[in-house]
A and B are shown apart, each in its own frame.
Chain A
Amino acid sequence: MTGNDRFNIDELLAQRFGADAPAEAPSWILPAVQDRINRTQQRGGRMPTIVGGLLAAAAVVVLAVATAVFVPPLLNRGVGVDPSPSAPAASAAPSSSADPSTAPSAEAPVSPEASPSAPAMDPDAVILEVTSVCDVTPPVIMPAIVVTGDGRVVWRAMAEDGLGTEYRVRTLSADGLAELHDRLTGSGLFEASGRYEVESLPDVEPPGMGGCLQTFVYRADADADPVVVESGAWYGDELEEQYFVPSPERRTLNELLTALGDPEAMLGEDAWVDERATFAPDRYLVVAVPTVPELVTEGAPDVDELTWPFDQGPDAFGEEITSGAGAGRCGIADADRVRTLADELAAAGLDQFAGDLMGVGATLPWASQGTALDVAIWPVIIEGAPACDDVQ
């Protein structure tokens, strides 16, 4: 006989939690919070601090807001189109090349001539970029998946330890890339830009699910304008039926997003020309925004004690930005220099800097300036994604 035979686990848990839960919070907590908020500035409807944006789950943001702040930067990026003669030579390689790597076989990486469905495309041009953001828009929205003209796929996946995420990279064959194009165009939703919002049924009160915005930016070929398709999340048959106006488009796009979360399963093992690898960024985007000293992360070392990853100091590096957290600076730094800074922060006890630097941050004291500095680090996935222009 086991414990499960003898006891109803659900009932026992309810009883145990009820008995174990403290009836009251310690009396000092509220006064301490009140004291801190009296000295802490609200964000005034703007984005929270860099660190806050990373660490806090927060308010529901209506889709329109998320769209307004996110889509324009994507479009402005031009999705990698570079008509200049400085485009990499590979994009103009003659089809008569004897290099077997350009042969149009399933094992070949993508070249401009490898498939009639893949016209001359800058190898670094972005064919597909998908983002999904729920509730608060973070200061930098990282893609769920990026596919470039040479078949490179970089996607975000759960880390092996189950805590957090990591980016992986693998290269599609010409046929694999064609299959991806087919899957996208086959949905019928990428012929033109579109937007599919979540709409509540009349006279119902949906549960507090928050808002999600999924954005697909897709270009079928080098000559095509990017198609931007936005969608609210599909909440599943049960909830959609009960609270929301069912939308086949949202459902399709949600299923596509889910499938793209595991492109290896989506496209099959034969679709690739190399092995999967953990994506190792060679550059990082670093954002530093002065903030109030009250928000300093416990145990954080002073800015002036650290090895800053730019030739200029924290007050002069990179370019000026105005984010929701206020005016600050942003720059792109080489990975090894950023790793040095991260190691110093990790050694000081800021564990978030010990692993991969997937949008990690802290608020550091900066005594010489009489202030504090929000510092956040993001990996650069491809050229321009993310870029300092994307910092919200």
Chain B
Amino acid sequence: MIDLVERAQRGDADAFGLLAGGVTDRLYATAYLVLRDRALAEDAVQEGLVRAWTELPRLRERDRFEAWIRRIVLRQALDEARRARSRPRLTVLEHDGPAVDGHHDAIGVRDWLDSALARLTPEHRAVLVLRHYLGLSVPEIAGALDLRLGTAKSRLHHATQAMRAALDADARADARRHLA
């Protein structure tokens, strides 16, 4: 791979295409999970890859290509999220909460989780995705999001707390519905 990176750094677009082909699916999945919007994720990946191409000659640690390009796409994704956040949203997420009769209804839990995730900020979702989808360590999350280590730890903690709060809120609402 390092050879491909070196070729791409010298302007070999085909080499870059091969490199990009090896990581695009993971980048897209990551961007989608952070943004929860396929169109925004597509934009983030496309713009991120083009930007990576223009900046590739400045990559020093060639063996870290994937981590490097992931940072670019994540930054692009969060920029997309900020732009989208400034526009009015019409989507209303409906959910019925989890099943409460003692067994985990798969669809109920899924909707419950999705609803809770939708309430998080993209920045909070990003740390959760990096941690629980990509399995990155906290230092790696810090590197991927340009955060200090302490900030990454703090953000992961707060994201998890926010998730708990959202889930608790859903559980309370669900309990109220069943009591009514």
Identify the A interface with B (CB < 8 A): 1-4, 6-7, 9-10, 12-14, 16-26, 29-30, 32-34, 36-38, 40-49, 52, 55-62, 134-136, 163, 207-210, 233, 235-236, 239, 295, 351-352, 354
* Residues in B51-92 with C-beta less than 8 Å from chain A: 51-61, 64, 67-68, 71-72, 74-76, 79, 82-83, 86
Find B25's partner among A3, A25, A295 (CB 8 Å cutoff): A25
Q: Chain A's nearest CB lies how many Å from the CB of B150?
A: 7
Q: Is the CB of A55 within 8 A of B75?
A: yes
Q: How far is the CB of A380 from chain B (nearest CB, A)?
A: 25
- A3 and B165 alpha carbons, distance in the complex (Å): 10
* Most chain B C-beta atoms within 10 Å of own C-beta, residue among A10, A23, A59, A134: A59
Q: Say yes or no: is B40 at the interface (Cβ < 8 Å to chain A).
A: no
- Given the known interface contacts A25-B28, A41-B54, A58-B72, the answer about A351 and B86 at a Cβ–Cβ threshold of 8 Å is yes
Residues of A with C-beta under 8 A to B76: 55-56
* Given A14-B133, A17-B132, A17-B133, A29:B11 Cβ within 8 A: no
Contacts of B110 in A (CB 8 A): 16, 19
Query: Residues of B contacting A59 with CB < 8 Å?
Result: 55-56, 58-61, 68
When distances are taken between beta carbons in the complex, the residues of chain B under 8 Å from A52 are 51, 54-55
Smallest beta-carbon distance A188→chain B, Å: 24
In the bound complex, residues from chain A placing their C-beta under 8 Å from that of B58 are 43, 45-48, 58-59, 61, 136
- Given the known A-B contacts A4-B168, A9-B167, A37-B53, are A29 and B132 also in contact in the complex, defined by CB atoms under 8 Å? no
CB neighbours of B17 from chain A (8 A): 30, 33-34, 37
Q: Assuming A43-B58, A208-B143, is B71 touching A58 (CB within 8 A)?
A: yes
- Does A18 contact B133, Cβ atoms closer than 8 Å? yes
Tell me which of A33, A43, A352 contacts B57 (CB under 8 A): A43
Q: How far is the CA of A52 from the CA of B58 in the complex (A)?
A: 13
Give the residue name and chain of the B residue nearest to A292 (CB).
B54
Evaluate whether A29 and B28 lie within 8 angstroms (CB atoms) in the complex, with A20-B33, A208-B64, A239-B139 already known: yes
- Inter-subunit contact B109/A12 (CB<8 Å): yes
Check B146–A135 contact: CB distance below 8 A: yes
CB distance from A105 to the nearest CB of B (A): 38
Q: List the 9 shortest-distance A-B pairs measured between CB atoms, nearest first.
A: A25-B28, A3-B167, A17-B133, A21-B29, A57-B75, A59-B59, A45-B57, A13-B132, A57-B71
Contact of B55 with A48 in the complex, beta carbons under 8 Å: yes
Query: Chain A residues near B13 (CB, 8 Å)?
Result: 34, 37-38
Pair A210/B82 contact, Cβ less than 8 Å: no
Residues of A within 8 A of B67 (CB): 208
Q: Which of A3, A6, A136, A208 gathers the greatest number of chain B CB atoms within 10 Å?
A: A3
Contacts of B24 in A (CB 8 A): 25, 29-30
Q: How far is the CB of A342 from chain B (nearest CB, A)?
A: 15
> Could you say which residues of chain B place their CB within 8 Å of the CB of A20?
32-33, 114
Q: How far is the CB of A319 from chain B (nearest CB, A)?
A: 26
Closest residue to A47 on the B side, CB-wise?
B58
Q: A7 contacts B75, CB within 8 Å? A: no
Which residues on the A side are within 8 Å of B27 (C-beta)?
Answer: 25
Instruction: Give the residue name and chain of the B residue nearest to A21 (CB).
Output: B29
**Contact indicator B113/A12 (Cβ below 8 Å):** yes
Judge whether B57 and A134 touch: CB under 8 Å: no
Are the CB atoms of B53 and A40 closer together than 8 Å?
yes
B168's closest neighbor in chain A, by CB?
A2
* Residues of chain B within 8 A of A40, CB atoms compared: 50, 53-54
Kindly state the separation between the CA atoms of A136 and B82 in the bound complex, as whole angstroms.
22
Are A60 and B50 touching (Cβ within 8 A)? no
A56 and B75 in contact, given A3-B168, A38-B13, A42-B57 (Cβ under 8 angstroms): yes
Say yes or no: A21 contacts B33, CB within 8 Å. yes
Q: How far is the CB of A251 from chain B (nearest CB, A)?
A: 13
Q: Smallest distance from the beta carbon of B63 to chain A beta carbons, Å?
A: 9
Find B163's partner among A13, A25, A33 (CB 8 Å cutoff): A13
Complex contacts, B170 vs chain A, CB 8 Å: 3
Contact A2 B132 (CB under 8 A): no
Q: Cα distance A18–B72 when bound, in Å?
A: 22
User: Would B113 and A56 count as touching, CB distance under 8 A?
Assistant: no
Contacts of B112 in A (CB 8 A): 3
Instruction: Kindly state the separation between the CA atoms of A3 and B149 in the bound complex, as whole angstroms.
Output: 30
